[in-house]
Amino acid sequence: MGNKAGALLAGRLLLALLCVVRNGAAMSGPSDTWAVIISSSRFWLNYRHSSNALGVYQAVRRLGIPDSRIILMLAEQPACSPRNVHPGQLYLAPGAGAAAGGSSGAMLNLLSGDAEVDYRGREVSVDSVLRVLTGRHPPGTPASKRLRSGPASRVLLYLTGHGGDEFLKFHDEEELLAADIAGAVHQMAAAGRYGELLLVADTCQASTLYGRIAAAAAPNVLAVASSKLGQSSYAHHIDPVVGQHVVDQLSFHLHQFLSGSGPGPSPSLQQLLDYLGAQRLSSEVQVRTDLSPRHPARVAVTDFFGAAMPGAPAAGGASPAPVGCVGAGAEGSRAAAALLQLAAQQQRGHGTAAAARQGQQQCWHQHQHRQQLLPLWQQLEAAGGSSDAASWLVAGRGTEAAVVAAAWAIAVVLLRVLLQY
C-alpha cells in the first residue's frame, strides 16, 4: 500500500507540474506581440547605435513583451570595449556617464544584468536578419534565435545603423538592401508570419528602406523613418565622460516617450508621431500608412511596443483553473506552489548575481552562461519543450531558461520516482 500511495502522490505532483508548464498561458499569457531589434554597426565610435537598440529593447520589455518574444541583434557590444570607462554598462541619458558612479546611475544602465542578446558580433549579418524574418533557419537553431510569430501576431521591426539610399550597412562590409527587406516582408505575409507589422528605421535616408514594399504583396504594414531621401539622421548628444555620442535623436525621443507610458489607456501611434514632430529633430520624420487599413490615430502604441498584462480574474473573483488540473489534489496544489517559489528563487538569484558582477567580468559571464545553456535549450526543444512556459511562470521577467531548467529537473526526478514503483 505504501508503494501505491507513493506512486499516486508522485503522479499527482507530476500532473501539477505539467499543468503549470503546459497550461500556464491560462493564468497569465502575454499578447501575441513580437519585436525584432537590430543594430548593424560595429566599432566603439558607433556606441550610439547599440544604445539606440538597447533603449528600445528595455522600453518594450518594461511595457510587457517578454524576452521569449524579443529577438535582439547587436553587431557591437560597446559595454565590453576596453575603451569604456564604465565596463559592462551602457547609457543614453544626458549626463549619465558622469552619474554612473553614483547611486542613481544604476537605474540608467541599458545593459542590465538580465538583458538577453540573441545575436551578437559576427552573428549579426544580412543573412541572419533575413533568416530571422523569413524563418528559414539551419537545423538545430535554438528557439531563442527564432521569430515564432503567426498570422495573428503583431511584429515590431526596429533597424538602426549607418544607411543610405535603399541600404543599411552591416559591419561596414555588407549591405541590407531595400529590395531584401521588401522580399522578406513579402515572404512573411505569404507564410502567415504576421498579422500587422510596424517597421521603424533610425538611419540616414531611412525612408528609402521601406520604399519597395508592395501593398498587394504585404498588407497591414506601417513604417516610421527618422529621415527622408537625401537626408542624414543625427546624434542627440555627446557624453564627455564616455567620449562618444551616446544616442541618436529619434531613438532618444522614442525611448523618452515609451518610458513615460504606464498603466492606463495607451497613447496612439499618431500621438507618438506628433510628439516626435514637436522635438524639432534635425531630420524630418517620415511615415508610410498606405499599406495599412488602420490610421495611426487608431493604433495603440502598445499594439507594437507592448503586450497585454496578466489577465484579470474571471467572473466571481477566481481565475479559471487550466483544463486537466482539477484532479491534482492538495498535494498537487502544494507542488505547483513550490514550483512557482523555486522559479522566483531562480529569478532572484540570477538578479543578485548579475548585480554583483562588475566590468568585463559581467561581459564574459553573459557569454559563458549562454554557452552553458545552449545544450539545455536544444534538449528541451528536441523533447517538445516550450520556452514560453518560463515566461508564463514569471510573467516574462528574469531568466526564463533558469525557470524551464528548474521545471525540467523536477519532472525528471518525479519520473524516476514513478519508475521505482
- Element spanning 404, H or E: helix 400-420
As separate numbers, helices (DSSP H) first and strands (DSSP E) second, the chain gives 13, 12
- Give the contacts of 84 (CB within 8 A, at least 6 positions apart): 44, 78, 242
pLDDT at 125 exceeding the cut of 60:
yes
CA separation (Å) from 30 to 104, 148, 213, 262? 31, 14, 29, 16
Give all domains of the chain, ordered by start, each with its CATH number.
2-25+327-420 (no CATH), 31-305 (3.40.50.1460)
- Give the contacts of 341 (CB within 8 A, at least 6 positions apart): none
Catalytic residues: 162, 204
CA distance 128 to 136: 9
CA distance 65 to 257: 17
SS3 36: strand
Of residues 126 and 411, the one with the higher pLDDT is 126
pLDDT for residue 321 = 35
Q: What is the pTM of this model?
A: 0.69
Give, in degrees to the nearest 5, the angle at Cα 195 between 193 and 201.
Answer: 85
Here the cell at position 323 is 483544463
pLDDT at 406 exceeding the cut of 50:
yes
User: What are the pLDDT digits (tens) for 307-345?
Assistant: 754 433 333 333 333 333 433 444 444 444 444 444 444
User: What are the pLDDT digits (tens) for 170-226?
Assistant: 998 999 999 999 999 999 999 999 999 999 999 999 999 999 999 889 999 999 999
pLDDT at 296 exceeding the cut of 90:
yes
CA distance 11 to 389: 20
Strands of the 70-74 sheet, one edge to the other:
119-120, 70-74, 33-39, 154-160, 196-202, 221-225, 286-288
